[in-house]
């Protein structure tokens, strides 16, 4: 069974929703990203989105743009991100990985090569935000042939397309909570609940919510109406704030612990230490 399906099945049995952090891989460098992934798993993350740094991230706000710039200065490529997933497995991380990439890096690699690499490196799904469902036929067929999930996005403006998105969805549907680019929000439109309800009514796969979620209160709010909550910019910002600690060998563990404690708090847990 695909790791994403198994994770949602376990969460359903426990009556829980998924917490799904997003991190930009290579920010500030690949080894630190690897340690951050281990840290997020220990902190209670149920799945992790591995963000591929990209020079023109249309859907991302300034926090993730700065993270991409830092990673790109280290010349981090899509293949580095994919290889990191296998390295995390070798260190004992068992939760599902979802690759988040714009389409151009995928196209340059070649869709068939890309999908084969995901399988070889134990990545369970992919999100390609600038690949609309009307143009995803090749990628969807390749994903299905390798038992991978191509996870679609649905936005409040999707309206008539919601039924079509839901009908083709695999893994889960990523509901965008609000219009605009990624970034923390202090409040959300009341219309977002009606939008999520519409998607849930049309969907046969789990429905998760992301964009702008940054606190335990907001995670609890969206956990009542969805199967999972995705937190990106708030975690990437926490990594950015911890950079001075992460880049000093004497304080590196303290920086990782701060990131882990933030994610544990989002999950409603407490994290004292990262252990050895």
Other C-beta atoms closer than 10 Å to the C-beta of 1 total: 9
Please identify which of the residues 5, 49, 227, 240 carries the catalytic annotation.
49
Instruction: Confirm whether 27 is a catalytic residue.
Output: no
Please identify which of the residues 35, 60, 227, 240 carries the catalytic annotation.
60
Instruction: Confirm whether 220 is a catalytic residue.
Output: no
Kindly list the catalytic residues.
49, 60
């Amino acid at each position: 069974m695909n790791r994403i399906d198994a994770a949602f099945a376990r969460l359903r049995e426990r009556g829980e929703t998924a917490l799904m952090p997003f991190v930009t891989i290579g920010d500030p460098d690949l080894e630190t990203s690897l340690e951050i992934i281990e840290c997020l798993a220990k902190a209670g993350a149920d799945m992790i989105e591995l963000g591929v740094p990209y020079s023109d991230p249309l859907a991302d706000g300034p926090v993730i743009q700065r993270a991409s710039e830092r990673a790109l200065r280290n010349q981090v490529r899509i293949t580095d991100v994919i290889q990191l997933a296998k390295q995390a497995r070798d260190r004992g991380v068992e939760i599902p990985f979802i690759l988040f990439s714009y389409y151009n890096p995928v196209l340059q690699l070649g869709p068939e090569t890309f999908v084969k690499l995901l399988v070889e490196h134990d990545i369970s799904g992919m999100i390609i935000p600038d690949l609309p469902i009307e143009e995803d036929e090749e990628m969807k067929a390749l994903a299905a042939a390798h038992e991978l999930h191509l996870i679609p996005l649905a936005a409040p403006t999707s309206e008539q397309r919601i039924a079509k998105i839901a009908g083709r969805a695999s893994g889960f549907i990523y509901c965008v909570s609000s219009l605009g680019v990624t970034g923390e929000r202090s409040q959300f439109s009341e219309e977002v609940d009606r939008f999520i309800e519409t998607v849930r009514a049309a969907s046969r796969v789990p429905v998760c919510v992301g964009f702008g979620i940054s606190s335990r209160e907001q995670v609890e709010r969206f956990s009542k109406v969805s199967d999972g909550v995705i937190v990106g910019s708030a975690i990437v910002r926490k990594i950015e704030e911890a950079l001075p600690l992460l880049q000093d060998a004497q304080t590196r563990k303290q920086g990782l612990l701060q990131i882990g404690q933030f994610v544990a708090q989002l999950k409603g847990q407490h994290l004292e230490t990262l252990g050895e």
